Chains A and B, each alone.
Chain A
Amino acid sequence: MPLLPEQPLQFQLRQEDVGDARDRVQLKLTQCNIVIHFSNEHDARRERGAPTSLCTALQHHGELPQRSATLFHQGSRFSQVFSAEPSSGGCADPGDGESVTQSPNSNSNVKIKKFQLHLQSNVCLFFDHGVTGLIKMANRRVPLVLLACGSFNPITNQHMRLFELARDHMHSTGQYQVVGGIVSPVSDSYGKQGLVQAEHRIAMAKLALRSSNWVTVDEWESQQPDWTETVVTMRYHNGRILREYEQRAGLQTDSSSNTNPHSGPSPQLKLLCGADFLDTFKIPGLWQDKHVEEVVGRFGLVSVSRGGLQPERTVHQSDMLSRHHQNIFLVREWVRNETSATEVRRALRRGLSVKYLVPDSVIEYIHQHNLYTEDSERRNEGLVLRPLIKKAHEPVNSLDD
């Protein structure tokens, strides 16, 4: 396999799970599709390499010192350190790091000839040529669900873009496998001006997401009697996801030769939002500190911005956010797209077209039900936003309870 000097190379492998031995780290490559990308994408080539050549390369460089792997991914540069054992693999998820049995024999001087990875799907393998041919490995990916809370008044193409961008980004870190997306429209009791009934907002979201095979709409939040804090919604979904995961893992028959995809890291839930969301933490009375701590520290945030360094600055300027910066994933969207639900409503009020900003099915629904008029925009006019009232009267239980 030809290697170019001074260029980090990226390998992407598809591999079937093999076995379940967790006390050794063994790599067995079967059915590899080797894609070589250079960091400068103009030179990228595609090659189908024979598995054996990569195996041979690995065997030559079988010595894998602990904690020495470096990970590059296109675009932003970050370094992460992995150990030879399939642990949680570094800084991204401090909360749910799983403990894995460490091979009793592993130390930096042991030559390991074969490496076995427990994989659910793609694994990114990064070969840092600059460090003379040592192969570093990424471990198994954490299944990830992205939750977006918001008014969705109405849902727009831009909302759905957030999911796509977030998924691509999280995949490219090499640590996550995004397995689901949830749109959770806020309940009517939020009291925001111009908010139309939840039943409509949910119907529109369902229409919009009909064509998506991984993002769904969830009505739980909108069905609660009162407005629900984001952290409470997150706890609900997190619990649900973990229970489903455990049920599936329990049902899986353990067989030494069959794949057991659910024996790996447990799934995580992260909040998906736009960059302006980070700024809302500063609004007095809107958030409780311990809730922000839980959302950011325990779960994590994926924030998509439309250009500009504002989100980085926002994180930097907050001690608390900075403390959890590894759990805050900032995704930059280079397309300058200022489409927002507010603009869509404005256009609709004025009888202007919103085609191609919002799916056709949603436009039809809006016209059918005559939503978004001057009257609808005046709903809740003068009312105080529910979170600002609620916090004063009924504090939400903290996690300690």
Chain B
Amino acid sequence: MEAHGVTPVVLLACGSFNPVTNMHLRMFELARDHLEDTGQYRVVKGIISPVGDGYKKKGLIEACHRLEMARLATESSAWIAVDSWESLQPEWVETAKVVRHHFEKLTAEQESFDDTDTVKYTKKRRIEENCFEASSHQKRRDGPQLLLLCGADVLESFGIPNLWKQEDIAEIVGRYGLVCITRSSNDPHKFIHQSDMLWKYRRNIHVVHEWVTNDISATHVRRALRRGRSVRYLLSDAVVRYIQQYDLYSVESEQKNANVVLAPLQRYTGASKEVTAAAATPDA
């Protein structure tokens, strides 16, 4: 499969998916186009991993609903699927652990797969002097590379105190890699430049410019639903029907966890903080 230096890639997106929107799905499409356009990658799989209820984000509805909506939304996709492992854990799981879990799972699958004959794709070979170098950990040519897919706001959330552990960021960016889709107002390059750690691993960070802004935030969708407004064509039809069927996203549901501290903040500081910290966390 890697005959001509083409690395298979799996994209993993973590987030609330509260609910999953067309924008989330677009991110996968944009990332795949970008990576494959370099001629060095072939994206073989996309994984949506909704966060568990233990994250305690304001307005986060039950994981079972978020999982089902994500499944409905990805039904028409040939390569994007939903994984429930993270959401089934009793407590909130750090993103680095989720990435690690999926990487180990992929590696195990690959090892059992290695014996089978696989169709080899021939791709035009690109000889680039400055070509991206996969980190040493993932250089194995017979295993897919796992990249965390996110919006630029997640990248910038690395800077929020007590939201991430430094060693987790180092692991995600250093050992695995990031595909970062820019939303209109962020400049990820500048942010990378201003962080020594991110700068060190800049070659593992793929920045994808979304030239056509498609800013369907789940916050906006929930607001529209509260006000009885239509969200058709922002979400897939099946998800819209599901939301109507179960009457999700009301004023009440938005108040869930209103006075609760976000799990990572709680874990890393052990003190109760203003709920406004939750507002600073990226909306995914």
Which residues of A pack against B, CB within 8 Å? 41-42, 44, 74, 157-158, 160-161, 164-165, 167-168, 211, 334-340, 343, 352-353, 355-357, 360
A83 to chain B, nearest CB (A): 28
CA–CA, A355 and B212, complex, Å: 14
Which residues from B are CB-within-8-Å of A167?
230
* Complex: chain A residue closest to B21, CB-CB: A356
B81 to chain A, nearest CB (A): 15
A131 to chain B, nearest CB (A): 25
Which residues from B are CB-within-8-Å of A336?
184, 213, 215
Q: Are A352's CB and B33's CB within 8 A?
A: yes
**Number of A-B residue pairs at CB separation under 8 A:** 66
CA–CA, A352 and B234, complex, Å: 20
Give 26 pairs: A residue, B residue, CB < 8 Å, sorted on A.
A41-B251, A157-B22, A158-B233, A160-B232, A160-B233, A161-B233, A164-B232, A168-B229, A168-B230, A211-B237, A334-B220, A335-B220, A336-B213, A337-B215, A337-B216, A338-B214, A339-B212, A340-B212, A343-B211, A352-B33, A353-B30, A353-B33, A356-B25, A356-B26, A357-B22, A357-B26
Residue B226 lies at the interface, judged by CB distance under 8 Å to chain A: yes
* Complex: chain A residue closest to B235, CB-CB: A356
Residue B66 lies at the interface, judged by CB distance under 8 Å to chain A: no
Which residues from A are CB-within-8-Å of B76?
360
B249 to chain A, nearest CB (A): 13
Which residues from A are CB-within-8-Å of B233?
157-158, 160-161, 164
Which residues of B pack against A, CB within 8 Å? 22-23, 25-26, 29-30, 32-33, 76-77, 184, 211-217, 220, 226-230, 232-234, 236-237, 251
CA–CA, A158 and B237, complex, Å: 14
Which residues from B are CB-within-8-Å of A338?
212-214
B244 to chain A, nearest CB (A): 13
Q: Are B213's CB and A74's CB within 8 A?
A: no
Q: Are A165's CB and B212's CB within 8 A?
A: no
A351 to chain B, nearest CB (A): 8
CA–CA, A164 and B228, complex, Å: 12
CA–CA, A339 and B251, complex, Å: 30
CA–CA, A337 and B232, complex, Å: 14
Given contacts A335-B217, A343-B211, A355-B29, 6 further A-B contacts (CB under 8 A): A157-B233, A161-B232, A164-B230, A168-B230, A211-B237, A353-B32
Which residues from A are CB-within-8-Å of B77?
355
CA–CA, A219 and B214, complex, Å: 30
Q: Are B251's CB and A42's CB within 8 A?
A: yes
Which residues from B are CB-within-8-Å of A211?
237
